[in-house]
A and B are shown apart, each in its own frame.
Chain A
C-alpha cells in the first residue's frame, strides 16, 4: 500500500558497512514490524513494535537493531552488514482495533538489500 513506504528500495553495500532501512506510514497504526524474506524461507520476523515505547525481538534479531522514532517511523539497522543478510526486507503495520478485529498487516513495497 502507498500508505507504507520504505527507503531505499534497493541497496548494494559491502561487508562491514552500517546500513539503515527506513519505514514510514501514514495509516496511523501503532504496530509496526520488520520482516526479511529469503527464497523458500517465507517471511521471518526480525523486530516488532506495538507502540512507540515498545520494541520486541522477533525470530531472527541477531545482527539487527531497530528504532521507533515516532508512531509513523520504524527504522532497521544492520550495524555491520554481512553477505548472509542479503535479502528482501519488508516493513509492515497493523492496527488490531481497526475494523473487525482482524489486525491485518499492511506491507510496504520492500527493500532489496545486497551485501557483497
Chain B
C-alpha cells in the first residue's frame, strides 16, 4: 500500500542555522501537503504542491516537489525559535479526491 517516508525523525539546530526535512513516497503522488504542529497543539496546514518540480516559498520556508512527484522537501532558512514544532508531509495518490497519507513527521528543536 501507499507509504510516505519522512526523515529525519528529529533535528536539533541552533537558531540561525538552516533545516531541511525530506519526504519520499513509494508511488507517484497527485499532490503533497505540508503541516506544522506546535508543541501541545494540533497540525495546521502550510501548503500544497501539485506540479512536477514545483517550488513554493513562504518567507523563510521553501517547499519543493520532485520531478517524478515521488519526493518533496521543506527547507527553513535561518531558523528561529518560533519554528519549533513537528513538520508533517502528507501525500495523496491517484485522484485529488483520495485520502492523504501522512509521514511520521520531523520534530524540530531550535535552541537560542
A-B pairs, top 7 by smallest CB distance, nearest first, are A42-B104, A107-B42, A43-B102, A104-B45, A102-B48, A42-B105, A107-B43
- Minimal Cβ-Cβ distance residue in A for B45: A104
Kindly identify, within residues 42 to 65 of chain B, every residue whose CB is under 8 Å from any CB belonging to chain A: 42-45, 48
Give the residues in chain A near B43, CB-CB below 8 Å.
43, 90, 105, 107
Instruction: Pick the interface stretch among B14-22, B71-79, B92-100.
Output: B92-100
8 A Cβ contacts from A35-59 to B: 35, 40-45, 48, 56, 58
Quick check: B42 and A40 within 8 Å, CB to CB? Answer: no
CA distance A40 to B33 in the complex (A): 19
- When chains A and B are docked, how far (Å) is the Cα of A102 from the Cα of B9? 26
Contact B97 A96 (CB under 8 A): yes
- Select B97's contact among A40, A41, A103, A105, beta carbons within 8 Å: A103
Task: Give 1 or 0 for each of A13-36: 1 = CB within 8 Å of chain B CB.
Answer: 000000000000000000000010
Are A40 and B104 in contact (CB-based, < 8 A)?
yes
Using A104-B33, A105-B43, A108-B42 as known contacts, say yes or no to A41 and B104 having CB atoms under 8 A apart: yes
